[in-house]
Amino acid sequence: MTAVAEVSQPRPLMPVEQALEQLLALAEAAPIQETENLPLAEAEGRVLATDLVASLDLPPWPNSAMDGYALRLADWQGQPLPVSQRIFAGHAPQPLQPGTCARIFTGAPVPAGADCVEMQENTQVLEDGQVRFVEALHAGQNIRPQGQETRKGEQVMNAGTRLGPIELGLAATLGHARLQVVRKVKVAVLSTGDELVEPGLPLGPGQIYNSNRRLLVSWLQRLGCEVVDAGILPDDLAQTRACLAGLGHVDLILSTGGVSVGEADYLGAALREAGELALWKLAIKPGKPLTFGHYQGVPVIGLPGNPASTLVTFGLLTRPYLLRRQGVGNVMPLRFDMPAGFDWPKPGSRREYLRARIKDGQVRIYKNQSSGVLRSAAWADGLVEVREGSTPKTGDSVPFIPFSELLS
Ligand SMILES: Nc1nc2c(c(=O)[nH]1)N[C@H]1C(S)=C(S)[C@@H](COP(=O)(O)OP(=O)(O)OC[C@H]3O[C@@H](n4cnc5c(N)ncnc54)[C@H](O)[C@@H]3O)O[C@H]1N2
Ligand code: MOO
Ligand SMILES: [Mg+2]
């Protein structure tokens, strides 16, 4: 055996897709199974636990799409018709008297016997109160038929749907006051590093303010998670052990910092003792040293500490993981191809996510893309993806992921 053979080769970087695939598989292996029944007012941001089936037709009866007059086409040969009733939304009509029309308003039930509604703009009311129809009329016009939107018994939403304002509105149209949802994912957030100080306290020598904690706690709450804020963990093995041991039951331990190769990166050491740890080297920039492991059976995701690395790896990898644990099918953010408003001449070995904004129809990038610069993200509207080895030029199409896709 020669000395050369014993030199450890650097491991190839793991592609982003592979990391995501592995995380999603791990999420599927540990689904949140408990559910709870919540009023609509408390269900926003939660995930539907059971398929939602329509218990009625929508609309429940044919109704008028216009303010105007309802009539039976067979009764009309071009002559004016007398008005036999007025039908308002929310009130039951009488069957239409043959040879007459009914005054009707938008959303009101179309009376039995009528098969056509004409908007009032196309009518003339004569001195004797009869109504002349000016335009040609067609059967079914301006009538929204019963069950046009949904038929009783149809599946309207699948289990795994995230409930936003639109989904809650849809549940309300079907008369649901409560929904069965997956219980919240409980996430413990810990920030590691002796240098960290909470905002509001004075900075000592070598110290910086803890930004990752606030960013992650706020973001997790937006995603509908229950957060256990475990505060700052100093760079000390005994304290790291004690903190992990005292977390109680959570579904995920989410840490920042302490996952690289530095001598003060103790989280990894503590996890190795009481669980397992995979230090990934991802082909992603920022965010290369993402860590996945288990501590006494509880999954742990260790995000790199640099604030932009935390942001990118949370948004692109941890968010999908958390959603998938709640059974969400589509966890991928939408991305849009946009013309680049920049040149990227140097091909990289990692996929780069540059903090960018759209201006004049082009993607502009923030001038300082260092992974320590959170200001880049506050300036930006989203992330532009530059693939490994690619060198986009101004005008080339590049994928842009708006932050709005990641933050909710
Ligand atoms: N020799 C090597 N050094 C580093 C490598 C490497 O491959 N070889 N990778 C670099 C990369 S890339 C990253 S990213 C960082 C990741 O380091 P850690 O995750 O271990 O994080 P720390 O070293 O603890 O902190 C990194 C950086 O971020 C600041 N930080 C940490 N936590 C917070 C927080 N809660 N709020 C604000 N800022 C935070 C910290 O002060 C450091 O400046 O490693 C590189 N090194
Ligand atoms: O991958 Mo690190 O996040 O670039 O600085
Ligand atoms: Mg470090």
Q: At what angle do helices 266-274 and 237-245 cross, to 10 degrees?
A: 50
Pocket test for ligand 2, best of 259, 265, 309 (most atoms within 8 A of CB): 309
pLDDT digits (tens, 9 = 90+) for 147-162: 999 999 999 999 999 9
Q: Tokens 């216009």 identify what position?
A: 66
How much is the pLDDT for 270? 86
With beta carbons less than 8 A apart as the criterion, state whether 300 and 250 touch: no
pLDDT digits (tens, 9 = 90+) for 386-397: 999 999 999 999
DSSP 8-state symbol, 55? S
d(CA 165, CA 309): 31
CB of 262 closer than 6 angstroms to any ligand 1 atom? yes
Ligand nearest to the CA of 194: 1
Neighbours of 322 (CB within 10 A): 25
Task: Specify the pairing of strand 291-295 against strand 298-303.
Answer: antiparallel
Ligand 1 atom 43, closest CA: 306
pLDDT digits (tens, 9 = 90+) for 78-117: 999 999 999 999 999 999 999 999 999 999 999 999 999 9
pLDDT digits (tens, 9 = 90+) for 361-379: 999 999 999 999 999 999 9
CB of 351 closer than 6 angstroms to any ligand 2 atom? no
Pocket test for ligand 2, best of 256, 306, 354, 369 (most atoms within 8 A of CB): 306
With beta carbons less than 8 A apart as the criterion, state whether 125 and 140 touch: no
- The arrangement of strands across the sheet holding 291-295 comes to 226-233, 186-192, 252-256, 298-303, 291-295, 275-279
Cα–ligand 1 centroid distance for 260 (angstroms): 7
d(CA 270, CA 140): 72
pLDDT digits (tens, 9 = 90+) for 19-34: 999 999 999 999 999 9
d(CA 200, CA 202): 7
Q: Which residue has the higher pLDDT, 147 or 264?
A: 147
Q: Quote the mean pLDDT of the chain.
A: 94
Which atom of ligand 2 is nearest the CA belonging to 308? 3
Pocket test for ligand 2, best of 288, 355, 369 (most atoms within 8 A of CB): 288
Q: Where are the beta strands (DSSP E) in 82-170?
A: 83-87, 101-104, 116-119, 123-125, 131-133, 143-144, 155-157
* Residue type at 59 in one-letter notation: P
Cα–ligand 2 centroid distance for 131 (angstroms): 75
How much is the pLDDT for 262? 65
Cα–ligand 2 centroid distance for 104 (angstroms): 65
| ipTM attached to this prediction | 0.97
pLDDT exceeds cutoff 90 at 49? yes
* Residue type at 121 in one-letter notation: E
Ion ligand 3: residue ranges with CB closer than 5 A: 260, 262, 265
DSSP 8-state symbol, 240? H
Cα–ligand 2 centroid distance for 288 (angstroms): 5
Q: Which residue has the higher pLDDT, 272 or 159?
A: 159
Question: Residue 165 is inside which H or E element, if any?
Answer: helix 165-173
The encoded tokens of residue 163 equal 């409930």
pTM higher than 0.90, yes or no?
A: yes
With beta carbons less than 8 A apart as the criterion, state whether 271 and 300 touch: yes
pLDDT digits (tens, 9 = 90+) for 212-257: 999 999 999 999 999 999 999 988 889 999 999 999 999 999 999 9
